Amino acid sequence: MLSISGIFRLHISKTEHAEGQRVGWLELFFDLVYVATVIALGDRLSNDISLEGVLSFAALFIPTWWTWTGTAFYITRFNLDDVGHRLLIFAQMFAVAILAINIHDGLAETSQGFALGYVGARLCLIFMYLRAGRQRPRARQLTTRYATGFALAALIWFVSVFVPEPARFFFWIAGMVIDFGTPLLPSTRRLQAENPPDTHHLPERFGLFTIIVLGEAFIKVITHASEEEHLKLANALYGGLALITAASLWWIYFDNIKGSVVRRTQFAGQVWVYMHLPLVASITAFGVASKKIVLLEAGHDLHNEEHLLAAGAVSLALIAIAILDLATTETTQELTDNQVALMRLGSAIVILIVGLAGPLLGAGGLLGVIALACAIQVVADVYRYARVPSAGDPHAKTPDSGY
């Protein structure tokens, strides 16, 4: 007769220690809730693209991204797939849904709901680490360290629910400092080295989240364009330029993953991980700017804030990818990683200058320059990969992730 404890250990993966763990169906299902979350974040930014609106968007994007990152690292380090794990993932999806529902006014009337959603998501992760420590005794020191640090941060977030604004947000900052700091402590990093994440699985997880935010940009443009009775030729052209930009960002990002290994320097792993935060946030912001440009009425032009949002978002994405290039190495390529990074940074500077002069060029000129600058990156990447017989290992290696 099967016991209750047996049920909760029935589906532990037989490939727990196998190299090259692949993304599972449950992970893909879990990512779906973040599609709605990213859309909600984009909608909030779309309603207010002032400096205050952009900062508010960033303030809500950071904890949202962190909830996803925490679970991604847990799964890539502990490949457990029993009934308890699945139930905790479903509970975490429910908590993230609460977080998403409260994003629209997450720094005002719905900030309590946002905080409770964040606390719920972190509590699920804490229980997952405690369970992993019981089933993997050799990792118990690491799981205990994570559970303790994350529990303290979650407690601070929970207390913030009962604190009036604006003091509530100082509690959030304190909680995020502990959350981010826990994996970065020197003693924690030593334990991470003894229990590293799967170096094939981790780049796939971050790549999938990047695809989610790229897809969100298309969803925004297509959904709103479909509501228009008569889409002008100019609007269709703007949409094509936005598509070229998004496709180019996809191309150069995934070329960074393909054939790259993270440098074995002290902080390269952490840089690789945390640079994905500005990357995905900027792609989301570009989706918002693209929607406003594509749906621009004839005879009207963008406001200065919209010009700067489009240019600033793509510039930040290129800067993040440039730093990813510097954090990795591709020893088989004609161009060095420093040269590639300088090319990305140079394009980012050009786009920023164009953004500042955006009203002189108009929406079409702005998007045209952005698309051209990004497409040039693709041409350069195609050229450098064509000059070598092999693109190298199809997966990035992350020997020291910093989480």
Read off the pLDDT of residues 380-395 as tens digits, 9 standing for 90 and up.
888 776 665 544 444 4
When pLDDT is averaged across residues 279-295 and rounded to a whole number, the result is 90
Which distant-in-sequence residues (6+ apart) come within 8 Å of 193 by Cβ?
A: 400
Question: What is the reported pLDDT for 300?
Answer: 63
Q: How far apart are the first and last CA of the chain?
A: 40
309, pLDDT greater than 50? yes
Q: Beta 261-262 vs 328-329: how paired, if at all?
A: antiparallel
Q: What is the pTM of this model?
A: 0.86
When pLDDT is averaged across residues 153-169 and rounded to a whole number, the result is 96
Q: Tokens for 308?
A: 């700067």
When pLDDT is averaged across residues 149-170 and rounded to a whole number, the result is 96
* Average pLDDT score, the chain: 83
Question: What is the reported pLDDT for 230?
Answer: 60
When pLDDT is averaged across residues 284-292 and rounded to a whole number, the result is 90
- Specify the range with the lowest mean pLDDT, choosing from 96-105, 176-185, 226-235, 315-324: 226-235
- Specify the range with the lowest mean pLDDT, choosing from 64-73, 176-185, 355-364: 355-364
When pLDDT is averaged across residues 339-355 and rounded to a whole number, the result is 88
Q: DSSP readout, 69-113?
A: HHHHHHHHH----SHHHHHHHHHHHHHHHHHHHTGGGTTTTTHHH
When pLDDT is averaged across residues 173-199 and rounded to a whole number, the result is 88
CA gap 30, 18 in Å, rounded: 22
Portion of the chain with pLDDT greater than 90, in percent: 46
Question: What is the reported pLDDT for 293?
Answer: 82
Read off the pLDDT of residues 17-47 as tens digits, 9 standing for 90 and up.
444 566 778 888 899 899 889 999 999 999 9
CB 221 within 8 A of CB 242: yes
Question: What is the reported pLDDT for 22?
Answer: 67
CA gap 218, 88 in Å, rounded: 31
Q: What radius of gyration, in Å, describes the C-alpha atoms of the chain?
A: 22
Read off the pLDDT of residues 209-242 as tens digits, 9 standing for 90 and up.
998 888 877 776 776 666 666 667 777 788 888 8
CA gap 281, 325 in Å, rounded: 18
6, pLDDT greater than 50? no
CA gap 119, 137 in Å, rounded: 27
